[in-house]
Chain A
């Protein structure tokens, strides 16, 4: 019996003691899957940050961007996340209402106001931007000869032209399109969704699925960003892809990161948030996440060739928080008849 007890103790010690013995503190960041993929910013960010932090940076790639918030709500106070990276400004108010997010340290606030290279003025106490871009429909110029120049042209296209969009309940681009159409059509948004319905091949959970369907040739257009063609241009040296710029304006997405109240590594989390605003992080973003950097960093060659919308649309996040449910219900009604 005694031996058993000792054995138990040894097992307990080995299993519970190991993490304690490891010298480096762990910083866990929840993000969406494409951020952590091999071609995404994840690996480079991890290497660069670990050079300066004496820590172990762990990205947890969740299946979609809104899934990050859902996951944190599910896990509640027990969440392992120290930082959530990949929500956008539309969700900021909803995220704050959960009460799980801590205010940004004051030192960071200054940096992110001073050095901002966003197309609009944006500040928030809890979340800081890390990149931005305009939503746009991406297409192959060789296949789609006459790309639509407005929402009306988009819905007037022949019915065999198919587009893939993302679900506004699960993915920030999906929510972006919902808000884009809402900001253009207002109360008539539901009618527009009905008109668009025959063109929609499918609604995916997250951005990467939708983009994969597009690249696999399942669809002619995909809801993505005006910066996505830069990937094909720079990484693949293929200039066949382009993104739509609409006469009504394009909706803006500012992707943000925030730290959790429950974090056990507040110092490290703050250090990482500061790192986000640094040139090192910002230089990784354009050619890995294929978005514009949020702080003054150089934009690589090729980005200047991208289409630029004439008008920028954005709702404020309180407005989104109050209406999100109704607007999503409206979309559900329109897309389910």
Chain B
């Protein structure tokens, strides 16, 4: 880094060549273009969204949709989904916050790193694989029962809650831990100086820290659990555990009741909008919080026997919920019959389709994200706040519209014009891009905007514009974030089980869809192998993205040194 900064500074000093007028005009034109790109993307996205919304409204209002929305059936779905989401949120917050406290109190560097990376794994594990693991642990013939903890059989609601805690407790842990870490050190010094008890510390320091993010984080988790689809589909077990999305899926797939589907979709969008508004103030980053390495915090509640015990239990529960499902997959692995999987054409076909989908969707969505951030940055420079908001809204619109609603909407919109079953690839690709875009923007935009503002002056002086500027200046400074977003969107696309459940068939299967089909079979060892395979594949892909990006960075450095030396001469 230091080396690179030095180089750039060097270039700045020597960058005597000032722009002539024609070049600056070109530059302005270019900026105008880049603004236009973003706006037109925003326009396309919002047009599609509006078309779907209008279509849903039209279909729904054919029937007396108020009657559907206020029927006892719908009320029950909302009640069931709400209760499930409430419990999931509660336990996620409980497990996440308690283990964040324990980690903050007890953690040495090595352990903190370990826990944080574990929690990162849980964030990228596909829902299908997690569901498989959770059954492997908590099912009646699962790991827990095989070690003698029998007597309880978790099915339906509690399985779903466990799965949701699996995904959300790590999120809470990361947010809560970095919040605790961001508190100034003297808090703890004063606390130990005054010999505050654990309860007092919680009251005076920790609770106010947590309180700041509690409501938005809780509402985000509530939203995620309330709109949960694949987990509920796989683990829900019957009509008493359901969500609006699952009911929409049922209405479309089994009863072909498009009016019901459309009415429920609109209800879903309304509820999501409300929840998103509450969670709006939440601002957290998915990247690991920077370890506060200078001095370890001394908390005076550390030596207490009781606190040792509770911390131990917190970690135990955290690992039981987060790590055990993944370990259990390996534990019950039956290689002899599981390896049959690799002899099946269906597997290779699904692998090919999934890879194609994940590759294109990760590359395309990151490219679109870069263009969008670029435009937002330029629009910000020219002060058109309304346009920026337009882009933001058109992207985050798809957060309100869960994938099943999107697919249903597309189906209703296009059923008379296009046979969607022949274009499933494009539909799934589009859905994957749209749904990963908001997250990519969130992760990528801080560092990309910073890079853009840093390099603007330099590029003007050097006369490097357009793609060249991006490749030589911007790109090398965001490789780390690029690896992260590419990895995340690859994982997301590889694990996604939503649109495909409506349109998938034997000729067009993705790996998670295939896993879903295998899930219910007797002797699920093939499913276990497939689950492990998907996991390994995601991490290998992440690693490969890293290697490719790093080697690009190296080539750039090399090129720049060459160029630098040449200009020096």
Contacts and interface: CB of A to CB of B under 8 A. Distances in A.
B408 to A, nearest CB: 10
B239 A217 contact: no
A336 B153 contact: no
Interface in A201-220: 201-206, 208-209, 211-212, 215-219
Interface in B373-410: none
B140 A218 contact: yes
Contact of A74 (B73, B80, B252): B252
Nearest to A37: B521
Interface stretch (A44-52, A162-170, A309-317): A162-170
A201 B154 CA distance: 9
A75 B502 CA distance: 11
B76 A204 contact: no
Interface in A151-176: 162, 167, 169-170
B568 interface: no
Interface string A188-210: 00000000000011111110110
B440 to A, nearest CB: 31
Interface residues of B, number: 35
B253 A216 contact: no
B517 A218 contact: no
Given A60-B505, A336-B76, A208 B141 contact: no
A335 interface: yes
A201 B155 contact: yes
A212 B522 contact: yes
A336 B236 CA distance: 13
Contact of B238 (A162, A203, A218): A203
B141 A212 contact: no
A138 interface: no
Nearest to A169: B254
Contact of B153 (A63, A66, A201): A201
A60 B346 CA distance: 12
A185 to B, nearest CB: 19
B71 to A, nearest CB: 9
A211 B80 contact: no
Contacts of A70: 252-256
A71 B156 CA distance: 26
B524 interface: yes
A158 to B, nearest CB: 14
Given A167-B238, A333-B72, A206 B253 contact: no
Contacts of A74: 252-253, 256, 411, 421, 502
Interface string A254-279: 00000000000000000000000000
Nearest to A197: B240
Nearest to B418: A78
Interface of B: 72-73, 76, 80, 139-141, 153, 155-156, 237-240, 250, 252-256, 411, 415, 419, 421-422, 502, 505-506, 517, 519-524
Given A74-B253, A204-B237, 14 more contacts: A60-B506, A62-B505, A70-B255, A74-B502, A78-B421, A167-B238, A170-B254, A201-B237, A202-B238, A203-B239, A209-B521, A212-B521, A216-B139, A333-B72
14 contacts: A60-B506, A70-B255, A70-B256, A71-B253, A170-B250, A204-B237, A209-B520, A215-B522, A216-B141, A218-B139, A218-B155, A332-B239, A336-B76, A336-B240
Closest 9 CB pairs of A and B: A203-B238, A209-B520, A202-B237, A212-B522, A73-B256, A78-B419, A218-B140, A70-B254, A336-B240
Interface of A: 33, 60-64, 66-67, 70-71, 73-76, 78, 80, 162, 167, 169-170, 200-206, 208-209, 211-212, 215-219, 329, 331-333, 335-337
